[in-house]
Amino acid sequence: MNLMNKFLLFFPKYLIKLFLIVSFVGIPSFSFSENELGVSTFMYHRFGEDRYPTTSVTKDQFQSHIKYIIENNIDVISLEKIISKLGNNEKFNDKSIAFSVDDAYLSFFEYAWPIFKKYKIPVTLFVSTDIIDSNTAGYMNWSQIKQFIDEGGSIGQHTSTHLHMPLNSKKFVKEDILNSHRSFIKNIGFVPKLFAYPYGETSLAIIELLKDLNISHAFGQHSGVISSYENHYYLPRFSLNKNFGTSDRFEFAVNSFPLQIDQFSPEDMFLKNNKRPLIELTLVDDLNNNELNCYSNPGGNWNSQEIIKISPLKFQIKLEEDFLSGRGKLNCTSKIDDKWHWFGYQFLVK
């Protein structure tokens, strides 16, 4: 299945049209989840590097995102504010969005940062230190990273070697993270508080390690809208690239809301033995007979999956095939009071 079909599976045209109609006729009174509207958090990599469509947005796409949030007065908050609210057990009652950029490509510094800066839009840059230490072409260098910080930018950790964390021993990953801390201290004088997993991949063992290292929150790269019910060590971010960075898709994600999950199993996002787990999720709020739809990519194809309702709040998702090795993804949505609510998850499959 090509990427456009994948896009349409996530964002069928009727769904985008419905969203556009809803936004013109106004929003009906909102009763679901006590008005917790959540934060749609975005992740970019490269800007205007059209040779890399899976990691780059075009300059036109990026400009359309910024134009949309400026013209519509969308509230953009920092990732620091997200983790501070989570840490204080606060609700996300106001609808807002947040921006992050991974890997510190030069195209961020040269093209996108001046635009973020001009409009005073907060953005966090997640940096893997080795590639910067070795002055690699196409990446920022430490003096540019320092300039970014001096000009108001926020920095986050992204390991030193950008490794697949769950596939390595805890000891090895620990040393990798500590190496990145040494580089941060040497080059910018502090260790950033924020953390993002390379490839969005983690496991319960890796989460335990982060706790040992006093890292309190971590971001993945699965779709979803952050609410107070989020796993602090698996915060979702919508990925933006050429195929998933169109203005329709961006605006749909900006205007999506959390689908709050109380319990989710399997508990470990790293599937070592079972390639076809029985997925169970328990919602915080009754969907009031609104439909739940879940899409996933077992066998390498994105399809709607069979859902069994166990109780008003509890659902089972039966995957139609085994997950292939690599990243297995799940996206569940429900349309409630004309608003789209979204929950996403990513497994790493051995």
Which spans of this chain sit near Zn ion (rule: CB under 5 A)?
102-103, 198
Closest contact distance (angstroms) between CB of 36 and Zn ion is 29
Amino acid at 29: S
- Spell out where 12-95 has E strands: 39-44, 46-47, 56-57
Q: How far is the CB of 167 from Zn ion (least distance, A)?
A: 15
Q: What region does 230 belong to: left with phi over 0, alpha with psi -120 to 50, or beta? A: beta
Q: Which is nearer to Zn ion, 200 or 258 (CB)?
A: 200
The DSSP secondary-structure symbol of 111 reads I
In the complex, minimum distance from the CB of residue 102 to Zn ion, in angstroms, rounded to a whole number: 4
> Least distance to Zn ion from the beta carbon of 166, Å?
15
Compute the least distance from the CB of residue 71 to Zn ion, in Å: 30
Q: Are strands 123-127 and 96-102 parallel, antiparallel or unpaired?
A: parallel
Q: Residue 347 in contact with residue 166, Cβ under 8 Å?
A: no
The CA distance from 186 to 152, in Å, is 20
Q: In this complex, which beta carbon is closest to Zn ion, that of residue 95 or of residue 158? A: 158
d(CA 233, CA 202): 9
Q: How far is Cα 210 from Cα 218, in angstroms, rounded to an integer? A: 9
CA neighbours closer than 13 Å in the CB half-sphere of residue 317: 27
Query: Degrees (nearest 5) of the Cα angle 265, 270, 274?
Result: 70
If you ran DSSP here, which 8-state letter would residue 55 be given? T
Nearer to Zn ion, 103 or 251 (CB): 103
Report the Cα 151 to chain-centroid distance in Å: 25
> In the complex with Zn ion, which residue's Cβ is closer, 11 or 148?
148
Shortest separation between residue 37's beta carbon and Zn ion, angstroms: 28
Which is closer to Zn ion, CB of 11 or CB of 195? 195
CA torsion, points 5, 6, 9, 15, in degrees to nearest 10? -90
- Please give the DSSP secondary-structure letter assigned to residue 108: I
90, two tokens: 């606060």
Nearer CB in complex with Zn ion: 40/157:
157
- Cis amide linkage into residue 266, ω under 30° from 0: yes
Q: Which is nearer to Zn ion, 2 or 134 (CB)?
A: 134
Closer CB to Zn ion, 198 or 298, in the complex: 198
Smallest gap from residue 294 Cβ to Zn ion (A): 27
Q: Nearest approach, Cβ of 107 to Zn ion (angstroms)?
A: 14
Reference 114, options 33, 205, 48; nearest CA is: 48
